[in-house]
């Protein structure tokens, strides 16, 4: 059998990390990426202590060019303080890692460089058209005719996962449709507003009527802002594309500036100075039952957003994907330390048992976080006066019940070890 080849579809966050874990354990991973380059400009993400713990086990945090959050604030659009706290020092003390932010493209480059250093092949522009699975191996076929065969496939290809569609088909199920959550997002990267230069390491959530803004620094001189709101009349039919034409961007910028006219100056400054504005209708997918994370024949499994796409309201999308990589790597046998032949260690029945244990471990937690994230979006973007009162009550509860907030942190950040 030789060293088992593992085909990893997707080179976002989970794909490179699970590849690095598998290389350490004696496998031969190959990463297949549909795009010519990984990552895209105009976006950023935060890594929480649970995700940072996973990266730290691979030595990937020491050279990570990211901004640590020192403080966090929840405020209303008229400047009323709802809650605040210190972040990094407290998180490091309790969980061993900080919360950080960085451009998504920077993280993608960092992970891609780690692949190259580990001599893990990365095949770009590999757009999967077919997966052929049999008793002995699985073959992934690209649209251009290229083929790669291996012992098993790990689908890390995001919310629009081709591997997920194929696994559902193996169960005799039709293709799914994404579900619009009722909330739209506009976001952009901008120079740090002058008024925020003295608070360049602070995470802020700003709340207004049926909307909220997330604001955080991603470098010493730049920031990300994201506006979440209920769509106005006709907005639900806006095209579902993250990249708007320059003309549409400027029209949308004017609309946003009007929507934000009574909001803090630093929010308006960030929106007005963003070179590019990206728009998304936030969608999710149905929650997969455990058996549908794995193909019928047992050689394909899903990780990250391919299995459990999260809305951004919990800030846990990348972090849950990283937790997935950690747990799957723990369940897979270490071929380097095993004296038996790989063919005896990694039989199909044993592979199925590994995938089953992984899914049983991960599905309850990711389902809970998916539901919490969706509920948090509805709470933060109320669609009625009753919802506005509910949101206000939530912050009063958090403000006067520190134990509740700590319990929420423990649940999110206490994993995977």
Stated pTM of the model: 0.94
CATH architecture of the domain covering 5-177+285-413: 3-Layer(bba) Sandwich (3.50)
- Does position 128 have pLDDT exceeding 70, yes or no? yes
Given a contact cutoff of 8 angstroms between Cβ atoms, the answer to whether 218 and 189 are in contact is: yes
Q: Beta 67-68 vs 100-103: how paired, if at all?
A: antiparallel
DSSP codes of every residue in 128-154: EEEEEE-SS-EEEEETTS-EEEESEEE
> Bigger pLDDT: 351 or 402?
351
Instruction: Output the six-digit token pair for 374.
Output: 């969706």
State pLDDT tens for residues 138-184. Answer: 999 999 999 999 999 999 999 999 999 999 999 999 989 889 999 99
> What pLDDT, on a 0 to 100 scale, did the predictor assign at position 342?
76
> What pLDDT, on a 0 to 100 scale, did the predictor assign at position 397?
81
What is residue 6's three-state secondary structure? strand
- What average pLDDT does range 59-84 have in this prediction? 92
> What pLDDT, on a 0 to 100 scale, did the predictor assign at position 343?
73
What percentage of the chain carries pLDDT values higher than 90?
A: 78
> What pLDDT, on a 0 to 100 scale, did the predictor assign at position 307?
98
* Bridge partners, 29 (sequence order): 6
> What pLDDT, on a 0 to 100 scale, did the predictor assign at position 243?
67
Read off φ and ψ for residue 247, nearest 5 degrees. -65, -45
Q: Within a 13 Å sphere around the CA of 212, how many CA atoms are in the beta-carbon half?
A: 22
> What pLDDT, on a 0 to 100 scale, did the predictor assign at position 406?
84
- Does position 394 have pLDDT exceeding 80, yes or no? yes
Read off φ and ψ for residue 176, nearest 5 degrees. -90, 160
Least confident of 14-18, 200-204, 236-240, 357-361: 236-240
Read off φ and ψ for residue 193, nearest 5 degrees. -55, 145
Least confident of 187-196, 237-246, 313-322, 373-382: 237-246
Least confident of 124-128, 210-214, 290-294, 400-404: 400-404
Least confident of 15-19, 28-32, 231-235: 231-235
> What pLDDT, on a 0 to 100 scale, did the predictor assign at position 401?
58
> What pLDDT, on a 0 to 100 scale, did the predictor assign at position 39?
55
State pLDDT tens for residues 100-117. Answer: 999 999 999 999 999 999
> What pLDDT, on a 0 to 100 scale, did the predictor assign at position 244?
78
Domain ranges of the chain: 5-177+285-413
> What pLDDT, on a 0 to 100 scale, did the predictor assign at position 89?
85
Cβ within 8 Å of residue 340, ≥6 positions away: none
Whole-number mean pLDDT of the chain?
Answer: 92
> What pLDDT, on a 0 to 100 scale, did the predictor assign at position 173?
97
State pLDDT tens for residues 1-12. Answer: 579 999 999 999
- Does position 27 have pLDDT exceeding 90, yes or no? yes
State pLDDT tens for residues 341-351. Answer: 777 778 999 99
Given a contact cutoff of 8 angstroms between Cβ atoms, the answer to whether 150 and 138 are in contact is: yes
- Does position 292 have pLDDT exceeding 90, yes or no? yes
- What average pLDDT does range 359-365 have in this prediction? 98
């Amino acid at each position: 059998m030789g060293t088992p080849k593992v085909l990893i579809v997707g080179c976002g966050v989970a794909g490179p990390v699970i590849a690095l874990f598998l290389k350490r354990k004696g496998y031969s991973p190959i990463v297949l990426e549909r795009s010519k380059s990984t990552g895209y400009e105009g976006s950023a993400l935060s890594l929480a202590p649970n995700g940072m713990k996973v990266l730290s086990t691979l030595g990937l945090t020491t050279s990570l060019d990211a901004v640590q959050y020192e403080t966090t604030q929840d405020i209303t659009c008229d400047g009323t303080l709802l809650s605040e706290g210190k972040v990094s020092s407290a998180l490091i003390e309790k969980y061993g890692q900080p919360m950080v932010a960085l451009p998504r493209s920077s993280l993608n480059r960092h992970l891609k460089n780690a692949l190259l250093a580990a001599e893990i092949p990365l095949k770009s522009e590999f757009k999967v058209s077919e997966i052929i699975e049999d008793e002995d191996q699985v073959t992934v076929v690209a649209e251009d005719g290229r083929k790669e065969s291996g012992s098993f496939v790990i689908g890390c290809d995001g919310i629009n996962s081709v591997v997920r569609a194929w696994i559902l088909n193996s169960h005799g199920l039709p293709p799914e449709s994404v579900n619009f959550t009722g909330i739209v997002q506009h976001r952009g990267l901008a120079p740090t507003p002058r008024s925020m230069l003295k608070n360049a390491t602070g995470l802020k959530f700003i709340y207004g009527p049926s909307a909220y803004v997330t604001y955080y620094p991603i470098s010493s001189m730049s920031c990300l802002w994201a506006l979440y709101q209920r769509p106005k009349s006709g907005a639900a039919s806006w095209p579902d594309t993250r990249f708007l034409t320059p003309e549409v961007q400027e029209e949308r910028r004017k609309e946003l500036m009007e929507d934000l006219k009574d909001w803090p100056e630093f929010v308006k400054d960030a929106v007005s100075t963003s070179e590019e504005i990206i728009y998304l209708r936030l969608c999710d997918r149905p929650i997969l039952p455990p058996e549908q994370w794995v193909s019928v024949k047992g050689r394909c499994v899903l990780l990250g957003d391919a299995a459990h796409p999260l809305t951004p309201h919990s800030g846990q999308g990348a972090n849950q994907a990283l937790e997935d990589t950690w747990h799957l790597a723990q369940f897979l046998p270490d071929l380097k330390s095993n004296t038996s032949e790989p063919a005896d260690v990694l039989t199909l029945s044993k592979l199925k048992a590994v995938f089953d244990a992984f899914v049983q471990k991960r599905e309850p937690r990711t389902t809970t976080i998916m539901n919490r994230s969706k509920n948090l979006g509805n709470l933060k973007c109320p669609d009625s006066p009753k919802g506005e009162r509910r949101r206000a009550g939530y912050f009063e509860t958090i403000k006067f019940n520190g134990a509740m907030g700590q319990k929420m942190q423990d649940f999110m950040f206490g994993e995977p070890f």
